[in-house]
Structure 1
Amino acid sequence: MSDFGRKNVSDKIAEKVTPESEKTTLDQAKEAVTGGVDKVAASGTPDNQKSFTQTVADGVQTGHDDAKTAVNKNEQTLAETASEYVEAAKEQVVNAATYVSEVVTGATEGAKTASTDAKK
């Protein structure tokens, strides 16, 4: 059952359980358009003017959208954190390489100086 201008709840469920690989390009485009129109209709209709079924379906969709947004935000945060760790690790590798280079250079120069002093 659906309210006037709304996508039927059973159609929404059928669309979600059907794998994308089994849908034609036309089916996917139709779902995108009718889904967008349904979201506009859902947001433009007060809950007290919706049937019980549409109210529940809209609540589920809102929860799904909110969860998806939270997951995407967390993925970005994790990616940013991982990127920061990689950059910090790169910096530490450069610092270590610089330190080793300075130690080797210092040791080489010290050996040369010692050799020169020993010849004197």
Structure 2
Amino acid sequence: MRMPIPTPLEDVIDHVIHFHLISENKRPNSCVISFFVEEEFSQPFLKPPHLEQPISTLLLSESTMVFGRTLVCDNDGNYKGPLMLSLNKGSLLVMRRNSTDMARHVSCQSPTRRISHIL
């Protein structure tokens, strides 16, 4: 059963649209909420080619993410790539056009619990 987007995230989406980071006609109609425990990391994510929406990631805790066409991972889950960002709590990444076509991204290991939302 598909649940509606939670009201607090709808408020975030309204702000993102208000500040023209995403246009109203590209308003997200779904979201993924990811919870990471200590030392956990995500698998690389690549936007499906049929998806025309921008991909937005809201981080509710500090996190490190790696981006690029080619990502390398050691046996311990430590990813490396052409771009590594250390992001603060409350950071919003909006990937659209070419950035969504080329960017694989992954959430790296951390000694703390983390939460992120992909809109």
Q: Same fold (TM over 0.5)?
A: no
Higher Cα Rg, which structure? 1
More helix by share: 1
TM-score of the superposition, structure 2-length normalised? 0.18
Higher relative contact order (CA 8 A, sep 6+): 2
Larger strand proportion, structure 1 or 2? 2
Instruction: Return the TM-score normalized by structure 1.
Output: 0.17
